[in-house]
Chains A and B, each alone.
Chain A
Amino acid sequence: MLIRTTPEHPIPSSEITPEGVYQNRREFLREAGILGAGLAASSLIACAPGEAAVLRQQSTLNGAELKPELTPEVDVTSYNNFYEFGTGKDDPKANAQRFRTKPWSIKVEGLVSKPATYNLEDFIKPHKLEERIYRHRCVEAWSMVVPWLGFPMADLIRRVEPLGSAKYVEFNTLLDPQQMPGQRFPVLDWPYTEGLRLDEAMNPLAMFAVGVYGKMLPNQNGAPLRQVVPWKYGFKGCKSIVTMRFTEKQPSTAWQVAAPDEYGFFANVNPEVDHPRWSQARERRIGEIRRRPTLMFNGYADRVASLYSGMDLKRNY
C-alpha cells in the first residue's frame, strides 16, 4: 500500500524566495514601519530602490518557472480593479495616493477563540514574510504574474484559533467614502465583502500580502493588507482589509450580490465555465499580444483541486 505524506509546505521552492532574501525582511519591516515604534512619514515610501533591486536580482537567480515572465511593475501598480477608488483601470492609482493606511487595525471576530482588534504591526509581526510569485487571473480574462510579499493565511488563522463550528471566513474592505470616492456611488454594496471556505483559506497557497515587488503594497494594490488567492479570479482578493469574521454560514460576497448569475462564491479559475458575456477559455497576459489558454485553477490544480472533489464546478462557479 502506498502511503503518501503531504509535506508541510507543498509549494515548490521555485515559487518561494530564496533564503537570502529573508535577510532583508527586517529591513523591509523597518522601512514599512512595522518593526519598532518609528512610524515615520517616510515609512510609507517603499524600501530603497537599491534594496528592491537586490530582491529582484535574487529572485531571478532562482530561475523559477514564472520569474522571467514577471509582469512589469508599472503594469502591476497602474492597471488595477479597485472600485473603491473608481471603476476605470487607472482610477485607483490616480485616486488612492492620499489614502491613509496608518494607523490601521484589523478586527478578528466571529467564531474564533481569540477575537481581537489588532494593529497592523501586531497582525503581521509574528509571521515570516516571504516573496511568492503567483499568476493573477482577472475574471475579465486578462492576467499578470506578480511577486507578492506576505505570509500564509493559514499561519494567521492557526494563531487566532477558529472554533470547531467555523466553516467560513469573511473579509471586509474599509468603508470610508471620504477617502474612497468610489464608495459614494452604489456600484457595489459597500463595504466590499469577500469570503473563503475555511479549508480554502487554510490552503498553503492562500496568503495575506503586505507588499509587491519587494516594496510595501501601493495603495492602489490594496494597502496595507490584502488577500491573494491565486487559483481564484482576482476579485476574490479582498483589499485594504479591516475585518476578518469566522462564520458557520457561507458569507454573501460583493460581486455575488451584485450579479449572482455572473459571479459565484467560489470563483475558481476555470476555462470550461464561461462568464455569461465572454469566454474564460483564454486569457491575455498583460504585455503580450496573443492570448494564451487559461489553466484549470489557474495552473494550481495539483495543489487545490482536491478541495473541490465531488463538487459540480459548473454549478458552483
Chain B
Amino acid sequence: MGEVARETGSRVPRGVPSTVAAPRATRAARLSPPGWLHPLVIVLALIPFAWAVFALGSDLFGDTRHFGSEPIKESEHFTGKWALRFLLLTLAITPAIRITQQGWLIKYRRTFGLIAFLYACVHLSIYFGLDIELMWDLLVEDVLDRTYITLGMTALLLLIPLALTSTKASIRRLGSKRWNALHRLIYVSAVLGCIHFYMAVKRDVREPLVYITILAMLLGYRMVAERRKSRAARARVTLDQGQSTA
C-alpha cells in the first residue's frame, strides 16, 4: 500500500478517485483483490479436508466406498497428497509475486503453509490412529527402520516450528533476518516430503515424479533468480569501480 501511495500521491487531486487520476503503472497493473477472496480461498482449500472427514467416517461406519475398499489407506494417501500440494503451492507464491508483480499474494504464503501443515497433521493422524492403531512400538519401528517414514516424519516435524512462528508477532520477536532463516526450513520439508512420496510408491512412480518436477522447477526458479541477482550486484560493483578509476 505504502508503495502505491508514494507513486501517485502528490499528483492526485483531492476528491478524485485515485483509479481515475493515477497514471498507468509502468510494468504490470496492480490488481486489488476483493476482501472476500482470502476467506473464499480458505474455504476452498478446506473442501478436501471436509470431504476426507465425511467420506472416511461414512466408509468406516456406513456401507459406502467413497475411498474405495480400503478407506483408511486411501484417505491416508489422499491427505498426504494434499499436504504436498499445499506445500508446493506455498513455495509457488514467491515466484508468482515476482512474475506477476502482485505483492498482495504474499498473504497466501502463510495461508497455504498452514493449510499444508493441517493436511500433514491429518495424514499423520490417520497413519498413527487408524493405520497402525496407536501402537507406539510400531511407530518407533517405522520411523527408525523405514527410510520413507523417517523422511516423512522429519518433513512434518520441520513444519511445526514454522506453523508456530507464522504470526506477525513472531516475525517482530525474531527479527526478519532470523525469521527468514528459520522459514527456509520449508525447502527441506518439501524436498523430504516429495522423496517420502516417491519412496512410498510400490512401483509406478509417475505421480510422485510430477510432484518432484514441480518442486525442482520452484527451487530452480529461486536458484536462477539468486544467481541473476548476484551477477547484477557484481556488475554494479565493477561499474562503480570503472567510474571511480575514470
CB–CB A87/B68 < 8 A: no
Known A187-B204, A291-B133; judge A284-B69 contact (CB<8 A). Answer: no
Does A279 make an interface contact (CB < 8 A)?
A: yes
Q: What's the least CB distance linking B60 to chain A, in Å?
A: 6
Does B203 make an interface contact (CB < 8 A)?
A: yes
Binary flags per residue of A129-142, CB closer than 8 Å to B gives 1, else 0? 00000000000101
Please report the C-alpha to C-alpha distance between residue A75 and residue B141 in the assembled complex, in whole angstroms.
31
CB–CB A187/B203 < 8 A: yes
A-side contacts of B203, CB under 8 Å = 83, 87, 187-188, 258-259
A-side contacts of B130, CB under 8 Å = 289
Question: In the complex, which residues 175-192 of chain B have their Cβ closer than 8 Å to any Cβ of chain A?
Answer: none
CB–CB B148/A89 < 8 A: no
Q: Is the interface of A mostly helix, strand, loop or mixed?
A: loop
Does A276 make an interface contact (CB < 8 A)?
A: yes
Does B72 make an interface contact (CB < 8 A)?
A: yes
CB–CB A277/B200 < 8 A: yes
Which residue on chain A has the smallest CB distance to residue B200? A277
CB–CB B69/A286 < 8 A: yes
Count the B residues whose beta carbon is within 8 Å of the partner chain — how many?
A: 19
Which residue on chain B has the smallest CB distance to residue A90? B68
Known A87-B204, A187-B204; judge A79-B146 contact (CB<8 A). Answer: no
CB–CB B70/A277 < 8 A: no
Please report the C-alpha to C-alpha distance between residue A297 and residue B146 in the assembled complex, in whole angstroms.
25
A-side contacts of B69, CB under 8 Å = 75, 78-79, 89, 286-287
CB–CB A140/B202 < 8 A: yes
CB–CB A74/B133 < 8 A: no
Question: In the complex, which residues 111-148 of chain B have their Cβ closer than 8 Å to any Cβ of chain A?
Answer: 130, 133, 138, 141, 146, 148
Which residue on chain B has the smallest CB distance to residue A287? B69
Q: What's the least CB distance linking A139 to chain B, in Å?
A: 9
Which of B65, B148, B202, B204 gathers the greatest number of chain A CB atoms within 10 Å?
B202
B-side contacts of A99, CB under 8 Å = none
Question: In the complex, which residues 263-304 of chain A have their Cβ closer than 8 Å to any Cβ of chain B?
Answer: 276-279, 284, 286-287, 289-291
B-side contacts of A278, CB under 8 Å = 146
CB–CB A79/B141 < 8 A: no
Which residue on chain A has the smallest CB distance to residue B138? A279
CB–CB A277/B148 < 8 A: yes
Q: What's the least CB distance linking A194 to chain B, in Å?
A: 16
A-side contacts of B200, CB under 8 Å = 277
Question: In the complex, which residues 51-71 of chain B have their Cβ closer than 8 Å to any Cβ of chain A?
Answer: 60, 65, 68-70
Please report the C-alpha to C-alpha distance between residue A277 and residue B203 in the assembled complex, in whole angstroms.
13
Q: What's the least CB distance linking B219 to chain A, in Å?
A: 27
Residue in contact with A286 in the complex, picked from B70, B141, B146, B202, CB distance below 8 Å: B70
CB–CB A289/B68 < 8 A: no
Please report the C-alpha to C-alpha distance between residue A48 and residue B203 in the assembled complex, in whole angstroms.
39
Question: In the complex, which residues 71-95 of chain B have their Cβ closer than 8 Å to any Cβ of chain A?
Answer: 72-73
Please report the C-alpha to C-alpha distance between residue A258 and residue B205 in the assembled complex, in whole angstroms.
13
Interfacial residues, chain A to chain B (CB-CB below 8 A): 74-75, 78-79, 83, 87, 89-90, 140, 142, 185, 187-188, 258-259, 276-279, 284, 286-287, 289-291
- Known A89-B69, A187-B204, A279-B138; 5 more pairs at CB < 8 Å: A87-B202, A87-B204, A277-B146, A284-B70, A289-B60
7 A-B Cβ contacts within 8 A? A75-B65, A75-B69, A78-B65, A90-B68, A278-B146, A279-B141, A289-B60
Q: Top 10 A-B pairs ranked by shortest CB distance?
A: A79-B69, A87-B204, A75-B69, A286-B69, A187-B204, A187-B203, A289-B60, A142-B70, A277-B146, A89-B68
